[in-house]
């Protein structure tokens, strides 16, 4: 069992028994909107998540993430939710300001 905590959505916690799913799929399957402009294909960075805790529990970076990182579009503390699997334990993440939806109530 793994757990995703989204800090600025009221510390919403999501449990999952499936470590093969991408983080964004687990979030969506639990009824939470998360931006994904390219359709989760690793082409846009709008699914970017800020990793506050648990970075070591994530899958290795994909070629798409490495490319965005080399272009300066993905900071060391950021991962693409559509490219990343949570392999063990937990992560605490945050939605970055440019990728917030107007219809969701974000917290600090």
Please identify which residue in the block is written with the tokens 């990182």.
69
Which is closer to ligand FES, CB of 63 or CB of 107? 63
Other beta carbons less than 10 A from residue 45's beta carbon: 21
Q: 3-state DSSP call for residue 53?
A: strand
Pick between residue 8 and residue 64 the one whose CB is nearest to ligand FES: 64
Q: Which is nearer to ligand FES, 16 or 83 (CB)?
A: 83
- How far is it, in rounded angstroms, from Cα 13 to Cα 65? 25
Closest CA to 54 of 13, 17, 82, 100: 13
Which range binds ligand FES by CB under 6 A, 33-41, 51-59, 85-93, 94-102? Answer: 33-41
- Per-position x/- string for 67-96, each x denoting binding to ligand FES as judged by CB under 6 A, each - no binding: -------------x-x--------------
Contacting range for ligand FES; rule: CB under 6 A; set: 4-12, 41-49, 70-78, 86-94 = 41-49
CA neighbor of 24 nearest in space, from 54, 51, 49, 7: 49
**Would you count residue 47 as binding ligand FES (CB under 6 A)?**
yes
Q: What is the C-alpha radius of gyration for the chain, rounded to an integer number of angstroms? A: 13
Give contact residues for ligand FES (rule: CB under 6 A): 36-38, 40, 42-47, 80, 82
């Amino acid at each position: 069992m793994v757990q995703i905590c989204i800090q600025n959505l009221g510390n919403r916690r999501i449990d999952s028994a499936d470590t093969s799913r991408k983080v964004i799929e687990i979030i969506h399957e639990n009824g939470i909107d998360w931006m994904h402009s390219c359709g989760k294909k690793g082409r846009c960075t709008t699914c970017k998540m800020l990793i506050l805790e648990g970075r070591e529990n994530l899958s290795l970076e994909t070629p798409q993430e490495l490319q965005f990182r080399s272009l300066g579009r993905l900071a060391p503390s950021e991962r693409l939710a559509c490219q990343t699997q949570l392999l063990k334990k937990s992560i605490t993440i945050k939605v970055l300001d440019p990728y917030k939806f107007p219809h969701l109530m974000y917290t600090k």
